[in-house]
Chain A
Amino acid sequence: MAQISQSERNADRDEKVSPGKLHTTQYIVVLVLAALAAGMWRLQILGADSYRLLAEANRVRKTPVLAPRGKIFDREGRILVDNYPSVSCYLLREQRKDLNADIPLIARGLDLPVDQIQATLRRYASSPKYVPIPLKQDITPDEQAFIEAHRNELPELETLEEQRRLYPRDGFAAHLIGYVGELSAEDLNSSKFAFYEPGDVVGKSGVEETYDEVLRGTDGSRDVIVDSHGKEVGQLGQQLAIPGKDLRLTIDLDVQRAAELAMQGHNGALVAMDPHTGEILAMVSRPTYDPNQFSVRLSKDYWSQIVNDPDHPMMNKALQAQLAPGSTFKIIMSLAGLEEGVAQSMHVMCNGGGTFYGRFFACDKHHGMVDIEHGIEWSCDTFYYTLAEKLGIDTIAKYATEVGLSQKTGIDLPDEASGTMPSTQWKQKTQHQPWYAGEVISVGIGQGAVQVTPLQLARALGGIASGGVLKRPHVVFPEELPPAMLSAIQSTYPGSGDRVVSITPENWETITDAMAAVTVTGTASAVHLEGIDFAGKTGTAQLVNHSIGGNTLLTGNARANAWFVGMAPRRNPDIVVAVLAEHGGWGAEAAAPLAAQVINAFVTKQRKKEGNLLRLTDAPKPAASPAANPEGVPTALATPANRPGPATATAVKQP
């Protein structure tokens, strides 16, 4: 056999492999094993600490324990915003698998668009892998069942129980309360949210935004031990969630309800305030929206519906609508005229208007001979054209600015507008043109460039009726906040704040008595409230310049805005209500009844509660002479100690 023969042939050759080569292989073995040992040294001795951290990061996962947000109550402790338990779906990224492959199945099971899931994934791409991605909030029982049924195919889906916001239905007080939402990518880039993490739910508007720090709790967490499939196999420790604190608003649910009912079917805003303190009692803006739709992920349809609505449902018109105040501005004109000593002696003949600076300005009626009292009561334009001509724009602007126009009030709500009060300086600054004297005429009746918000108007007129005491409006009791936070909020929302405007008692009496006459024999006599000392001023602000003055209302979007500012009682009022009915027409017809309803509801409630039928019907004489005060400031009126004393009379009809 050939094979045997070969081995036989070679049998006599006693060749051996040279020892040198075998020694070489020994060295190679040593060298190679030493290299491997060096590799181990690098990892296990030099890199041990960092790899230990990585190993811990692998097996320990932080799962959030979400803190419930604080509830929101009205001033009497009645609940406005509650929480309800809900289940959210999260996506874990610590899996070994390729998540993109699962997106279509997840999209189907959770009823989400594929591109939305992809966008969410991209948004979280830079955050650490152990941070779960919120996929969908408030999932339905069906979707929960889907997740349970696909535990094996989709182990990356995790459900988490949390508390969600439950807002009043039908947009009740929606603008005031605001809503919460997940932080967006843009939000995270702003310094305001420097300490927040993606997915955090924060207040995005209204009280929810301003008082986010109070309402939001501190999320807790659990350190759980997981295996590579994300399955929980143990727990290392936990940090309990600290629930957010409850918040009591100055809102009176009964007044708010009356305001909501009054504004039903109108566009515009209503704000009710206690002028003694600046506490907001009710705030309504129309049209409204449903914040419950915002607390869960917003549907595209609802969003486009809101955004495309020409009536701006998202806008809190009580603070953000900046419109000409119309004749309500005549109260400020009267203040300026009386304090300057001009208006007391003025008697103007109204023949349906007058000619000023070569142009005829109309009045809606032939009022005959008009003095300051009747000027307010009848809202005679001719009287105020004349007064404006006498005062000049800068004097008017001075008083208007003193009562808070063209500045934010400093209310503790986001995005307040400041309005506009024209003056020579203002015109030079904004339009680089000199002021033409003739422009002052239309300013005299609250037209022209004058723009106010309903809140500014309520505060200004309420402040004048309170003897010049203006308060910073607020929706949360300052004494219930930590001082540091209070000052932080006041610096976040700067404004004219608390201030006292000097008003001589006689002028105070003249203006307030005339405003009381408005609802009795004046422009708003149709809304007279029997037994309530109800004062106010109507306003009808024309929107088209050529129709200013006179009695043209026009129609549709050019129809005049109706205003009414009402209060009770006439002096040192307990409530002041400003109503704006956009394109409502006559202030007396469209706005005054709404304010009357709210004031009626408020007064009725106070009387029932206190059993004091007379309290709100006082019409006290102005307090003791302010002469004692060297600055001439009626400080006596500014203190609550000198609030209306014991009842002395039933409803007083003046003048």
Chain B
Amino acid sequence: MHRFSSFRDFDWMLLGLVLLMSILSVLEIKSATLHTRFHGFDHKQIGFLLVGMVLMFLISLIDYHRLVDVAPWAYGIGLLSLVAVKLVGTTVAGGKRWINLGGGVHFQPSEWVKLVLIVTMAWFFWGLAGRRLSWADIAKAFALIGVPMYFVLKQPDLGTALTYLPVLAVGLFLGGIRPKQTAVLVLLFALLGGGAWLSGKRLKSYQMERINSFINPDTDPRGTGYQIRQSLIAVGSGGLWGKGTNQGTQTQGDFLPIPYTDFIFAAFCEEHGFVGGVGILLLYFLIMMRLIENAQQASDLPGAFIVMGVVGVLLFQVVVNIGMVVGLMPVTGIPLPLMSYGGSSILFTFLALGIVMNVRMRRFVN
């Protein structure tokens, strides 16, 4: 039914942008870990990138329609793996998120569940055959996302759980949610939120504590106030042109927390300034535009859904991470895609991009 396309139809331009970004990432990880015991993470990151690219090519070989067809099974296995984490997972830094596969390889089910959810959403809305969304459809979509989200929240891993939301939002938006339904949903959540606000003064005092911790980092035992403060100092002191590679005092002096993962953008902005930071934003802009273009060219509904799901997740992560780094959003611990160090994040991103390639290569319907 679909003509098999050669790698000539592979999105080489997208790959080029992604690789350019990956190189910047590796260089910044090298700088950020220069004087620390994490020295050498840049090499590990190169390893992750290579594995990621192999997986990207492999997944692009399988027709994405096959992937959509097995989505319910994958969803079931995904839920099982989340339950497995709860049973046999290893606890790292207060969260039970990993399954030890032996040989030093750790598997984070919540990351690949993200991918499964993107495909599942495509499957779900394709099954609706383009008809208008009923309230029951909307409820089902919420349930599909809500169940795995609940498990991840319980790990606890707020950051990853939140990345499931854009998948739902993109699905509902592209699936044809009506303005009236959107309004009702918004009102509903506003009421729920407002009710929670009014019912408990505790919420208020908790938020006061967060504000206090922001003003005076020492009073915050978890140190999120301190982290934000150091991040703002790092970004701000970078100025227009930055302090230069390996010259960031916040990054090199270990004032900036985890400058190779969650706060890598702060490290980059400190050393390469506003110009460098805007350059990264520009790269993200080009990548997103290219992805949306691929969605426009997709031969059918599930293809477009999948690509836009990827766009939604990536954009969400970029906004939450950079928003946190520049002080517009609270600390949630979401890595910056294509920049932050970390195998799970890299593998997810490249697999997601692989499916996008997959869709693109099959954009011509016979």
How far is it, in angstroms, between the C-alpha of A11 and the C-alpha of B223 when the chains are bound?
54
B-chain residues with CB within 8 Å of residue A59 when the two chains form the complex: 249-250, 253, 255
How far is it, in angstroms, between the C-alpha of A21 and the C-alpha of B239 when the chains are bound?
37
Cβ-neighbour of A40 out of B68, B278, B300, B301 (below 8 A): B278
How far is it, in angstroms, between the C-alpha of A36 and the C-alpha of B299 when the chains are bound?
33
Q: Which residue of B lies closest to A30 (CB)?
A: B285
8 Å CB interface, A608-626 against B: none
8 Å CB interface, A41-76 against B: 41-45, 47-48, 50-52, 54-56, 58-59
How far is it, in angstroms, between the C-alpha of A28 and the C-alpha of B291 when the chains are bound?
14
Is A39 in contact with B323, judged by CB distance below 8 angstroms?
yes
- Binary CB contact string for chain A from 7 to 30 against chain B (1 if under 8 A, 0 otherwise): 100110111110101100110111
Cβ-neighbour of A51 out of B235, B254, B365 (below 8 A): B235
**Total interface residues on B, using CB and 8 Å?**
63
Is A44 in contact with B298, judged by CB distance below 8 angstroms?
no
8 Å CB interface, B209-266 against A: 218, 221, 223, 226, 230, 232-240, 249-250, 253-255
How far is it, in angstroms, between the C-alpha of A642 and the C-alpha of B292 when the chains are bound?
111
Given A39-B327, A51-B233: A45 and B240 within 8 A (CB)?
Answer: yes
> How many Å from the CB of B227 to the closest CB on chain A?
9
Assess whether B23 is interfacial by the CB under 8 Å rule: no
Assess whether A449 is interfacial by the CB under 8 Å rule: no
Segment touching A, from B49-57, B125-133, B345-353: B125-133
> How many Å from the CB of A44 to the closest CB on chain B?
4
Is B281 in contact with A37, judged by CB distance below 8 angstroms?
yes
Assess whether B342 is interfacial by the CB under 8 Å rule: no
Q: Which residue of A lies closest to B65 (CB)?
A: A7
Cβ-neighbour of B274 out of A26, A44, A96, A225 (below 8 A): A44
Is A48 in contact with B239, judged by CB distance below 8 angstroms?
yes
A-chain residues with CB within 8 Å of residue B174 when the two chains form the complex: 17, 21
How far is it, in angstroms, between the C-alpha of A174 and the C-alpha of B295 when the chains are bound?
91
How far is it, in angstroms, between the C-alpha of A35 and the C-alpha of B1 when the chains are bound?
44
Cβ-neighbour of B250 out of A29, A44, A55 (below 8 A): A55
How far is it, in angstroms, between the C-alpha of A120 and the C-alpha of B18 when the chains are bound?
55
Is A15 in contact with B130, judged by CB distance below 8 angstroms?
yes
B-chain residues with CB within 8 Å of residue A530 when the two chains form the complex: none
B-chain residues with CB within 8 Å of residue A11 when the two chains form the complex: 1
Cβ-neighbour of A3 out of B70, B232, B284, B300 (below 8 A): B70
B-chain residues with CB within 8 Å of residue A40 when the two chains form the complex: 235, 269, 274, 277-278, 281, 326
- Binary CB contact string for chain B from 260 to 295 against chain A (1 if under 8 A, 0 otherwise): 000000000100011001100100110011001001
Is A36 in contact with B308, judged by CB distance below 8 angstroms?
no
Segment touching B, from A194-202, A226-234, A288-296, A514-522: A226-234
Assess whether B72 is interfacial by the CB under 8 Å rule: yes
Given A43-B236, A44-B236, A227-B253: A29 and B289 within 8 A (CB)?
Answer: yes
**Total interface residues on A, using CB and 8 Å?**
50
> How many Å from the CB of B49 to the closest CB on chain A?
24
Is B255 in contact with A58, judged by CB distance below 8 angstroms?
yes
Is B129 in contact with A52, judged by CB distance below 8 angstroms?
no
How far is it, in angstroms, between the C-alpha of A21 and the C-alpha of B129 when the chains are bound?
18
A-chain residues with CB within 8 Å of residue B173 when the two chains form the complex: 21, 25
Is A43 in contact with B301, judged by CB distance below 8 angstroms?
no
Is A52 in contact with B253, judged by CB distance below 8 angstroms?
no
Is A43 in contact with B326, judged by CB distance below 8 angstroms?
yes
Cβ-neighbour of B296 out of A19, A36, A41, A56 (below 8 A): A19
Given A30-B285, A43-B236: A58 and B274 within 8 A (CB)?
Answer: no
Is B326 in contact with A29, judged by CB distance below 8 angstroms?
no
Assess whether A32 is interfacial by the CB under 8 Å rule: yes
A-chain residues with CB within 8 Å of residue B292 when the two chains form the complex: 22, 25-26, 29
Assess whether B339 is interfacial by the CB under 8 Å rule: no
B-chain residues with CB within 8 Å of residue A1 when the two chains form the complex: 69
Show 7 residue pairs from A and B whose CB-CB distance is below 8 angstroms, ordered by the A residue.
A1-B69, A16-B300, A25-B308, A29-B315, A40-B269, A58-B230, A96-B226
B contact residues vs A (CB 8 Å cutoff): 1, 65, 68-73, 126-127, 129-130, 173-174, 218, 221, 223, 226, 230, 232-240, 249-250, 253-255, 269, 273-274, 277-278, 281, 284-285, 288-289, 292, 295-296, 298-301, 304-305, 308, 311, 315, 318-319, 322-323, 326-328, 365
A16-B298, A40-B235 provided; 14 other pairs, C-beta below 8 A?
Answer: A1-B69, A10-B126, A16-B301, A16-B304, A17-B304, A29-B288, A33-B318, A37-B277, A37-B278, A44-B274, A55-B249, A59-B249, A225-B253, A228-B253
A contact residues vs B (CB 8 Å cutoff): 1, 3-4, 6-7, 10-11, 13-17, 19, 21-22, 25-26, 28-30, 32-33, 35-37, 39-45, 47-48, 50-52, 54-56, 58-59, 96, 98, 225-229, 233
Q: What are the 3 A-B residue pairs with the smallest beta carbon separation, nearest first?
A: A51-B236, A3-B69, A55-B237
